[in-house]
Amino acid sequence: MEERISKADFRNAMARVCAPVNVITTNGPAGRGGFTATAMCSVTDEPPTLLVCMNGRSEQCGLFLENRRFCVNVLAHDHQTLAGYFAGQQADMSARYAAAEWVDLPSGSHALADAIVSFDCRLTEARLVGTHHILLGEIIDIRSRPDGNALLYFDRAYVNIPSQMGSFGG
């Protein structure tokens, strides 16, 4: 019988994986919500689809599942405070949204006005795996800006890597 990897070992290993920091928002019949996530990636470009993982114990899960829409806002390095708010440092949703400027998207979700890129998504599937929901979203609109350095998370801390790092191997 194979030995299972411990939760602590898995978390410690995943802390060593650098990931972009995103604020995921929703707005619709169930209300407005948002959370910070690093578990986001592309799935396919036909049709353009991405996935986001959300803790199933989150009080906001119902909002996202009922609204059937969400927006992935890739944060810039100067959004660290906002990332903290949406990670739970600010419990009041109105105060979270008041901390930044937002743009309404075709789906009704909100895009961070100065995000590196915002993906407006229609929820096509939600699957519970262990403690988290995997939310699959077909992208219906994209907003992006031509500059800025992404806010990254590595080794349990925010990091900033300049976007103009030069070429590799040189």
Q: Which CATH number belongs to the domain containing residue 91 in this structure?
A: 2.30.110.10
Average model confidence (pLDDT) across the chain? 91
Predicted confidence at residue 86, as pLDDT, reads: 96
3 inside domain: no
Predicted confidence at residue 2, as pLDDT, reads: 80
Give 168's pLDDT tier (boundaries 50, 70, 90).
very low
Across the range 151-162, mean pLDDT stands at 87
Residue 20: closest CA among 72, 88, 81, 93: 72
- 71-123 pLDDT per residue, tens: 999 999 999 999 999 999 888 999 999 999 999 998 899 999 999 999 999 99
Residues spanned by the domain of 91? 8-40+60-123+142-160
Predicted confidence at residue 163, as pLDDT, reads: 60
137 inside domain: no
Predicted confidence at residue 121, as pLDDT, reads: 97
Looking at the chain, list the stretches that DSSP marks H as alpha helix, in order from N- to C-terminal side.
7-14, 61-67, 80-84, 93-98
Range with lowest mean pLDDT among 27-36, 125-134, 152-161: 152-161
Looking at 25-91, list the stretches that DSSP marks H as alpha helix, in order from N- to C-terminal side.
61-67, 80-84
92 inside domain: yes
Whether the per-residue pLDDT at 147 is higher than 70: the answer is: yes
Contact 143, 117 (CB under 8 A): yes
Question: How many structural domains comprise the chain?
Answer: 1
77 inside domain: yes
Give 143's pLDDT tier (boundaries 50, 70, 90).
very high
The pTM for the full model equals: 0.90
What strands, in cross-sheet order, belong to the sheet with 151-154?
19-20, 151-154, 157-160
Residue 62 dihedral angles phi and psi, to the nearest 5°: -60, -40
